[in-house]
């Protein structure tokens, strides 16, 4: 058995056999911009002592290989983590059995964070990008691996200092891994069209999802975004990933630069599979199977406004539960060129949001209906979380388009629109 076959087999063995029961679990990795009152990027490292004040029990987390550089707080139900940008904080939930459980955990995490952010004189944003700051090396958190990636990738790496995504994990079984990776990438335009929310950057109006547009322009080597063609089979899947440029790997003490195709160095790795997992972590496609968690990670969406914070999780989970019907609908309604049509559609919705022409009449409404059926089949009432997406489609206005309207009324009005506010749930 060659190295790629061994890695593939170990990869697949991380996913359980048989359909997830009693239903799929769901988790979130939700990033939020933190800014000063004037909208400029803040430094979230000042929040660590405020967050770790004893109200919730946390374990302190330090950068890889360090015993001093604090980068996160890990709790029982959720964790806080620093991200690439010094003004971005991430909330990572544990896997949840349903959207209501996930909402309760996220509300607890956000409430705890928001009070400390407010006490520090800062603002927490429900937005997909830093709205007023520019890309600058001084805005990058000084984790060792980030410094390496900046050296390898140059200025385009600094885009990650600006963005705030809302990533969703749903658990997978072994025999659906390939199909769900392809499908998860295919539905990226649907998610971006309804959830784009990064339309003001550097203090100026930009594309409705400038996060998607800027990243796809800067990372043209298939390392970011929707894969340009679906994977044909599992062998092609693993070989395609192994052919990609491996940026960094790590030993027991630190990360180190590689910057060569992974297939060229795999035989030099003490543990080829663990090296592959590190390599795969720095391929940022819109959907990827995460062997470490046994999940599909769905990645294309911007952070959402406070009042519709669960939209990405609900739409993603609903579309995954409806995969068979929705996948067939996309293929049959768009025909043999369905993948290239969706690939082009993604570029349009990143620019224009819900003003972009749909590839077929009622295309999005049909898919939302299927997502609703997928959630209804779980019999927990979770379909109520799709209501914001329905309202956006009726108005032909996603959060990024709404932010442009708010920005037209002045900077203060935009910040008031996208900032989180204390609330009783």
Handedness of CA 205, 164, 189, 316 (dihedral sign): negative
Domain 3-418 grouped into CATH 3.30.590.20: yes
Q: What is the pLDDT of residues 400-421, one digit of tens each?
A: 999 999 999 999 999 999 999 9
pLDDT at 58 (0 to 100): 98
pLDDT at 48 (0 to 100): 98
Closest CA to 403 of 256, 184, 209: 209
Where exactly are the structural domains of the chain?
3-418
Mean per-residue pLDDT, 21-31: 92
The full DSSP string for 334-395 is H-TTHHHHHHHHHHHHHHHGGGSPPSSTTHHHHHHHHHHHHHHTTTSSGGGGGHHHHHHHHH
Task: Give the least confident one: 186-190, 200-204, 210-214, 347-351.
Answer: 210-214
Q: Is the pLDDT of residue 19 over 90?
A: no
- Asked if 393 and 97 count as a contact pair (C-beta separation under 8 A), the reply is no
- Which residue is associated with the tokens 């960094």? 248
Q: Is 254 helix (H, G, I), strand (E, B) or coil?
A: coil
Mean per-residue pLDDT, 32-38: 97
φ/ψ of residue 65, rounded to 5: 85, 0
Give the orientation angle of helix 3-13 with respect to helix 272-281, to 10 degrees: 70
Structure tokens that stand for 62 in this block: 């330090």
Q: What is the pLDDT of residues 225-283, one digit of tens each?
A: 999 999 999 999 999 999 999 999 999 999 999 999 999 999 999 999 999 999 999 99
Distance CA 317, CA 303 (A): 16
The full DSSP string for 118-182 is HHTT-EEB-SSB-SS----GGGB---HHHHHHHHHHGGGGGGGGTB-BEEEEEE--GGGHHHHHH
pLDDT at 66 (0 to 100): 92
Distance CA 339, CA 331 (A): 8
Distance CA 103, CA 236 (A): 38
Cβ neighbours of residue 412 under 8 Å, at least 6 residues apart? none
């Amino acid at each position: 058995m060659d190295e790629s076959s061994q890695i593939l087999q170990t990869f697949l063995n991380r996913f359980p056999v048989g359909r997830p029961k009693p239903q799929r679990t769901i988790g979130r990795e939700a990033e939020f911009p933190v800014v000063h009152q004037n909208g400029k990027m803040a430094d979230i490292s000042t929040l660590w002592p405020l967050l770790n004040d004893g109200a919730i029990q946390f374990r302190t987390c330090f950068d890889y290989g360090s015993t001093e550089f604090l980068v996160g707080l890990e709790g029982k139900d959720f964790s806080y983590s620093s991200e690439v940008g010094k003004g971005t904080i991430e909330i990572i939930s544990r896997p949840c059995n349903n959207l209501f459980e996930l909402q309760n955990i996220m509300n607890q995490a956000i409430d705890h964070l928001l009070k400390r952010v407010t006490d520090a004189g800062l603002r927490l944003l429900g937005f997909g990008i830093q709205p007023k700051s520019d890309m600058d090396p001084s805005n990058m958190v000084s984790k060792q691996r980030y410094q390496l990636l900046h050296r390898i990738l140059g200025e385009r790496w600094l885009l990650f200092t600006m963005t705030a995504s809302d990533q969703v994990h749903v658990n997978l079984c072994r025999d659906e891994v390939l199909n769900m990776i392809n499908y998860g990438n295919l539905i990226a335009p649907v998610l971006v069209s309804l959830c784009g929310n990064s339309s003001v950057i550097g203090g100026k109006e930009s594309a409705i999802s400038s996060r998607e547009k800027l990243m796809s322009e800067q990372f043209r080597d298939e390392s970011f975004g929707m894969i340009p063609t679906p994977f044909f089979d599992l062998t092609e899947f693993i070989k395609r990933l192994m052919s990609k440029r491996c940026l960094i790997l790590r030993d027991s003490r630190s990360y180190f630069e590689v910057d060569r195709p992974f297939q060229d160095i795999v035989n030099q790795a003490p543990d080829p599979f663990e090296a592959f997992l590190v390599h795969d972590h720095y391929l940022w496609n819109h959907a990827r199977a995460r062997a470490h968690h046994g999940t599909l990670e769905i990645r294309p969406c911007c952070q959402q406004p406070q009042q519709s914070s669960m939209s990405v999780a609900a739409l993603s989970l609903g579309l995954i539960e409806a995969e068979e019907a929705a996948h067939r609908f996309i293929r049959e309604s768009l025909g043999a060129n369905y993948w290239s049509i969706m690939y082009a559609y993604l570029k349009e919705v990143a620019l224009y949001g819900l003003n972009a022409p749909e590839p077929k009449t009622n295309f999005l409404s049909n898919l939302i209906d299927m997502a609703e059926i997928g959630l209804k089949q779980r019999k927990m009432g979770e379909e109520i979380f799709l209501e914001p997406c329905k309202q956006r489609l009726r108005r032909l206005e996603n959060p990024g388009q709404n932010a442009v309207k708010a920005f037209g009324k002045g900077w203060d009005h935009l910040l008031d629109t996208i900032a989180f506010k204390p609330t009783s749930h």
